[in-house]
Amino acid sequence: MDRFTIEDLTAARTKAAAVLENPDIFHLMVCSGTGCHATGSLPVVEALRQEVAQRDLGDKVRVVETGCNGFCAAGPIMVVHPGDIFYQKLKVEDVPVIIEEHILKGKPVEKYFYKDPVSKKKIPSQDDIPFFAHQMPRALRNKGLIDPESIDDYIGRDGYRATAKALQEMSADEIIEEVKTSGLRGRGGAGFPAGMKWQFAKASPGETKFVLCNADEGDPGAFMDRSILEADPHAVLEGMIIAAKAINARQGYVYARTEYPLAIRRLGIAIEQAHERGLIGDDIMGTGFNFHVEIYQGAGAFVCGEETALMRSIEGRRGMPRPRPPFPAHKGLWEKPTILNNVETLANVPQIILNGGDWYASVGTETSKGTKVFALSGDVNNIGLLEVPMGTSLRKMIYDIGGGIPKKRKFKAVQLGGPSGGCVPEEYLDTPVDYEEIAKVGAIMGSGGAIVMDENTCMVDMARFFMDFIQDESCGKCTPCREGTRRQLELLKKICDGKGEPQDLNELESLSDVIKETALCGLGQTGPNPVLSTLRYFRHEYEAHIHEQRCPAKRCVALLKFEVNEELCTRCGMCARACPVDAVEWEKKQLARIDKEKCIECLTCYDKCKFNAID
């Protein structure tokens, strides 16, 4: 493959765009993200290719495996262009029908359309489905539109134009200025202005500098970065090249979670292809600028998402944080000036360079500009990945895009920011997505994990869950985090076991204060947040556990009786049918009874009973 000059890139774009936008053929875009893989998209793709070959439709149809479409709940997904027809939950046996009816006869197959759960209407076009209609894709602009393993597809969608512009037409200061104008803040959670970070690193003296990409997406319930890397890896690479020009770095690393094999594979392919085309490496596009990128795989340590710990890990050491200052912009990887940006932050950069900082800042709020990607999951109908303008309310995210709460249950809280964050209850659902506004209600923007919890979630158990996580992932270097989180976990376990005492809540609060004030790194400093936020909004649940030995959500096994409530039982037998070990005795129209000898306390009957009749 010949190395590209800037002229070659322009020619390649025209050629690739003609293929991508060819209106005379059908483009079958099959989602091939982790979610759809697991629900069976690969066999569907295989079947499509076979069917197309058998019917000799090769010149009329393009079958493309795309990155994560985002609407994971509807997988496997295929979108057909032209027409933007959205097919969901496809199986291999559906393929011949779709080829016959849609491709050959031009009649889209209604059977596989998305059905709106509220209006019960079938919606053919992707853009009309509420899940997509309220979104604004920027970081995810190429999701579902390109094959992430094809650099030509990316180039056809303006790929590497921003790199060409930054390397040929812009000075380092101009790049930094543009990013500052955009108001882009760190999407990993802390929200530090990206342009400022770059400016500090540029001003730092030294010949050797590094650009790092943080793809160690460790927050449970967060899959934004994974999806971006799976759907559009070149955008992240471009962001890194532009950042490298801004601070004058020659080498970059992507620190990726080992739990993300598909993302790592696609990123590797992207680096290789960019290398072959001379878009990464020495003398990029003949501009004389050199920049190399390597992938560095993590080995399973949450704390390595913290910048100084991440750098130690790349150095091949135990990933433990160190006190700052010195900040990485002065002394980072191998003691050299380093910037570390999150995947989503970097994916936004090419668009900012191409369209200008003012364009980027044209949406959003006073202090939070642009868009934010969220991973919506938990007890919500439309689980998936979404990108909304800053300022969108949480209610809109959960109800309009997320389709509300399943099984007719009530909303209880949405947890933002993972183990560093907090939960937002019903009364604050109109809070806009904005770094400062979300902080005011006791949560954080975080990296974008949004886990919806319904009335059956016990908030004490939730706090225990996060504290268990933090305690386990604490690296042990500083005492407040190592010991403090352990004591907090003990207290929370005690409360969940029904052995809580009134003073435990005060102790939880005072421990939280000390840990927040004195822990060495972000992990410890934010670790008590889930406890504080559940105490703030759901103190009554803690009190019910302590004073009445009762778990209102019926989750804490030690506080459950596993007995059928005679008054509430409708004698329907759902619990008996659901019990995996036949521990429920029931006959038609008779009261159910749980045999405690056989019962394994799995809570299946609690889940199945619609009448709350098991105590």
Partner 1 sequence: MSLAMRPEHADITPDMWPQIDEVIAVNRSIKGSVIAVLRQCQDVVGYLPVELMEYIASGMNLARSDVFGVASFYALFSFEPKGRHTLKVCTGTACYVKGIKEIITRICNEYDMEEGGTSPDMRFTLEPVRCLGACGLAPVMVIGADTHGDVSSDKVVDILQAYE
Shortest CB 168 distance to partner 1, Å = 34
| Nearest CA-CA partner of 233 in 273, 200, 196 | 273
SS3 state of residue 285: helix
Structure tokens at 129: 């489905």
Shortest CB 20 distance to partner 1, Å = 27
Shortest CB 307 distance to partner 1, Å = 16
Residue placing its CB nearer to partner 1 in the complex, 255 or 360: 255
Residue placing its CB nearer to partner 1 in the complex, 165 or 608: 608
DSSP class of residue 316?
Answer: T
Distances in whole angstroms, Cα of residue 10 to Cα of each of 5, 200, 233, 356, 428: 9, 34, 20, 20, 49
Residue placing its CB nearer to partner 1 in the complex, 363 or 578: 578
Q: Which residues bind partner 1 (CB under 8 A)?
A: 34-35, 37-39, 72-73, 75, 217-223, 226, 257-260, 297-302, 313-320, 334, 375, 377-379, 383-384, 415, 418, 449, 451, 453, 457, 465-466, 475, 578, 580, 600-604, 607
Shortest CB 226 distance to partner 1, Å = 4
In the beta sheet, which residues pair with residue 610?
none
Shortest CB 106 distance to partner 1, Å = 32
Shortest CB 38 distance to partner 1, Å = 4
Cβ-based burial of 506 (10 A; exposed 0-12, middle 13-18, buried ≥19): exposed
Shortest CB 126 distance to partner 1, Å = 17
**Phi, psi at residue 492, to the nearest 5°?**
-65, -40
Q: What is the DSSP string of 504-549?
A: HHHHHHHHHHHHHHH-SSHHHHHTTHHHHHHHHHHHHHHHHHHHS-
Distances in whole angstroms, Cα of residue 274 to Cα of each of 152, 155, 422, 520, 612: 10, 11, 40, 39, 58
SS3 state of residue 609: coil
Non-local (6+) Cβ contacts of 40 within 8 A are 76, 91, 92
Rg from Cα positions in the chain: 26
DSSP class of residue 2?
Answer: P
Shortest CB 380 distance to partner 1, Å = 10
Residue placing its CB nearer to partner 1 in the complex, 175 or 551: 551
Shortest CB 603 distance to partner 1, Å = 6
Residue placing its CB nearer to partner 1 in the complex, 192 or 334: 334
Residue placing its CB nearer to partner 1 in the complex, 431 or 474: 474
DSSP class of residue 455?
Answer: T
Q: How many whole angstroms separate alpha carbon 101 and alpha carbon 506? A: 66
**Phi, psi at residue 49, to the nearest 5°?**
-65, -40
Residue placing its CB nearer to partner 1 in the complex, 31 or 176: 31
Contact present, 388 and 378 (Cβ < 8 Å)? no
**Helix residue ranges per DSSP H, 391-502:** 394-395, 435-440, 459-473, 479-496
**Helix residue ranges per DSSP H, 336-387:** 343-355, 357-361
Residue placing its CB nearer to partner 1 in the complex, 313 or 471: 313
Residue placing its CB nearer to partner 1 in the complex, 174 or 315: 315
Helices (H) and strands (E) in the chain, counts: 24, 17
Residue placing its CB nearer to partner 1 in the complex, 257 or 545: 257
Shortest CB 35 distance to partner 1, Å = 4
| Nearest CA-CA partner of 244 in 183, 352, 166, 307 | 166
Shortest CB 389 distance to partner 1, Å = 23
Residue placing its CB nearer to partner 1 in the complex, 143 or 202: 143
